Amino acid sequence: MNRQKLSQFDPDIFSIIAKERKRQEEGLEMIPSENFVSPAVLEALGSILTNKYSEGYVGNRYYGGCEFIDSVEQLAIDRAKELFGAEHVNVQPLSGAPANIAVYLALLKPGETILGMDLSHGGHLTHGSPVTHMADLFNFVRYKTNAQGVIDYDELRDMARRHKPQLVLVGYSAYSREIDYRKIKAIADETESMTMADIAHIAGLIAGGRMNNPVPLFDVVTTTTHKTLRGPRGGMIMCKEKWAKVIDKSVFPGFQGGPHEHNISAKAVAFKEALQPEFRIYAGQVIKNAKVLEEELKKRDYTICFGQTDNHLLLIDLTNKGLTGREAQVALDAAGITVNKNMVPDDPRSPMNPSGIRLGTPALTTRGMKEDQMRLVADWLDTAVTHHASETVLQRVKKEIVELTAKFPLYA
């Protein structure tokens, strides 16, 4: 066994990790699906639990020596149930997309219909984008937002009546508004459809009591455990007890092999953190910070898609600013602000060079930044976009950002 430290045995990887840490520490991480985990989560993630194979579920494994593994996984399940009010929880999905796919394969037959949100209007790839394998397997019908930038529940009801979907799916990756889950449930009940919510982006805001919780209402709810929930990269499925066996069987052995118990232990730690009173304060501050960014960017004539934000993210159409999302992303990277290029509703441009950018506040809020810092961030963002061709200006902004981030250290 190699017993050398990483810095001694593999200085190449060690050096790259050090550079990435410096980038994270000295920049503004504003991709809304990104966050910073605690040292405790990192410790669990890097633990010796990675050594153990544990195919199966608590109390019913295919391998011996799983008594402590069972304890870890049961803690994660119990904490998730308490956090979201779930009847049944599966913490084994490796990420959000596998969780969604496992649900589809559990509840539906090939060719059956799913009514989901259009990708360019804020949905997710796994909600029926034609480029995914699931779009070949199931019949996805995609709804959009209306002219006011919100989900049109009347149109959604009409589509449900017309297409008779087996599953009505809500959730998003770039939509910035709250969802009325009771209305969705009523529509699904009318057409005798099952209900599914993908809360990957807003799970932390729901856990913190700041957004509506679909778990008590819907048949199935999926989520990632990173993003606003501030845990390790992974997935989770919550469902009514009636679906427990079929969903568990779909995850394993239907879709995945042995679970990653080091990751599940880190999920358990993150769930415990989310159960603390401090997490509710954090979730509230994430939304406050996003609202300040919205206000400041509107003052500077930025087009906020969907009219406003009710959560942690902003989708911005840059058409009136005379540059593409890709050009803005490159300029902002040079200035020390990390966002992602993103399509806007009915975008005439391509996904790799779209009209917009997507940004959010979870990671900055984790660092302790509040409203005053968001006003600085809005000014820097505007400066970088306005002077995207000026290396001198971008470097000046980057220097100012490094000075700010030094006051909000990541890991001591």
Measuring CA to CA, how many Å separate 407 from each of 23, 26, 44, 281, 371?
Answer: 15, 10, 27, 21, 15
Classify 148 as helix, strand or coil: coil
Write out the catalytic residue numbers.
53, 55, 198, 224, 227, 233
Selection from 261, 195, 205, 274 nearest residue 234 by Cα: 261
Q: What is the pLDDT of residue 148?
A: 87
pLDDT, one tens digit per residue, over 95-128 is 999 999 999 999 999 999 999 998 888 989 889 8
Phi, psi at residue 358, to the nearest 5°?
A: -120, 130
* pLDDT tens-digit profile, the chain (412 residues): 999 999 999 999 999 999 999 999 999 999 999 999 999 999 999 999 999 999 999 999 999 999 999 999 999 999 999 999 999 999 999 999 999 999 999 999 999 999 999 888 898 988 988 899 999 999 999 999 998 889 989 999 999 999 999 999 999 999 999 999 999 999 999 999 999 999 999 999 999 999 999 999 999 999 999 999 999 999 999 999 999 999 999 999 999 999 999 999 999 999 999 999 999 999 999 999 999 999 999 999 999 999 999 999 999 999 999 999 999 999 999 999 999 999 999 999 999 999 999 999 999 999 999 999 999 999 999 999 999 999 999 999 999 999 999 999 999 7
Give me 102's structure tokens. 């496992």
94: number of Cβ within 10 Å = 18
Closest by Cα among 134, 143, 141 to 108: 134
Residue 139's pLDDT is: 97
> Tell me, what's the pLDDT at 412?
76
Q: Which residues lie across from 358 on neighbouring strands? A: 315, 340
Which parts of 11-150 fold into alpha helices (H)? Answer: 11-26, 39-45, 67-84, 96-107, 134-137
pLDDT of residue 390: 98
User: Which residue in this structure is represented by tokens 């909000």?
Assistant: 408
Residue from 360, 340, 361, 359 nearest 351 by CA: 340
Eight-class DSSP state of 150:
S
What is the model's pTM? 0.97
Angle at 172 between CA 323 and CA 253, to 5 degrees: 130
Closest CA to 112 of 103, 99, 120, 124: 103
Strand 356-360 versus strand 313-317 pairing type: antiparallel
CA distance 122 to 149: 10
Q: Which helix (H) or strand (E) holds 256?
A: none
d(CA 120, CA 32): 16
Q: Which two tokens stand for residue 257?
A: 């092999």
Could you read off the pLDDT of 22-46 as tens digits, one per residue? 999 999 999 999 999 999 999 999 9
- Round to whole Å and give the CA distance between 302 and 407: 29
Pair 398, 334: CB distance under 8 Å: yes
Sign of CA dihedral 155, 156, 159, 160: negative
- Give the C-alpha separation, 166 to 140, whole Å: 10
DSSP class of residue 151?
A: B
To the nearest 10°, report the CA torsion of 184, 185, 190, 191: 80
Q: Which two tokens stand for residue 408?
A: 């909000």
CA distance 346 to 365: 31
What is the predicted pLDDT for the residue at 128?
Answer: 86
CA distance linking residue 183 with residue 185, whole number of Å = 5
- CA dist 18 and 286 (Å) reads 28
What letter represents residue 396's amino acid? R
Distances (CA, A) of 76 to 31, 300, 332, 376, 390: 27, 45, 38, 39, 49
**Which domains does the chain show, CATH number per domain?**
42-274 (3.40.640.10), 284-405 (3.90.1150.10)
Counting every residue written for the chain, the total comes to 412
Q: How many CB atoms lie within 10 A of CB 409?
A: 10
Largest CA distance in the chain: 64
